[in-house]
Amino acid sequence: MFRFRKWRIYQEARILRLNIRRELIPKLPNSERFNLVSQIQRAVDSVILNIAEGSYRKSDKDFAHFLNQSLTSLYEFVAILDLLLDSGYVNIKDYESFNLKAEDLARQISAFSKALRK
């Protein structure tokens, strides 16, 4: 019934979210709990939720719009990752690891969206 659960982009987004919550967020200072941590959580949750919400849309064009929203939320996470590096909250290894995961997911979402528009 919920077709989005079968899609790789949905599964990969869930894995990214779990990794962020387990590996990245615990390393951040409490002073960022209501600022950057909250923003990270909202952005990454939005990636997943827009895939799910869009999957029920009646037209591929409408669904592609939600995939675009998902992608923009992922871009927001990447910008936050830049801020975390600039602030010294993450090391270069963690930064590069999460950046690569985000790039891979972005490619997948973009390809899916492009296929819908054809």
Residue carrying the six token digits 């923009």: 72
Instruction: Measure Cα distances from 98 to 10, 36, 54, 56 in Å.
Output: 17, 16, 25, 29
Classify domain 3-117 at the CATH superfamily level.
Answer: 23S rRNA-intervening sequence (1.20.1440.60)
H or E stretch at 31: none
The CA–CA distances, whole Å, from 71 to 54, 65, 89 equal: 12, 10, 24
All structural domains of the chain with their residue ranges: 3-117
pLDDT tens digit sequence for 20-75:
999 999 999 999 888 999 999 999 999 999 999 999 988 888 899 999 999 999 99
Give the model's pLDDT for residue 116: 82
pLDDT of residue 92: 97
Task: Take residue 11 and report the two structure tokens written for it.
Answer: 């599964």
- CA atoms of 10 and 105, how far apart (whole Å): 9
What is the predicted pLDDT for the residue at 37? 95
At residue 11, the pLDDT reads 97
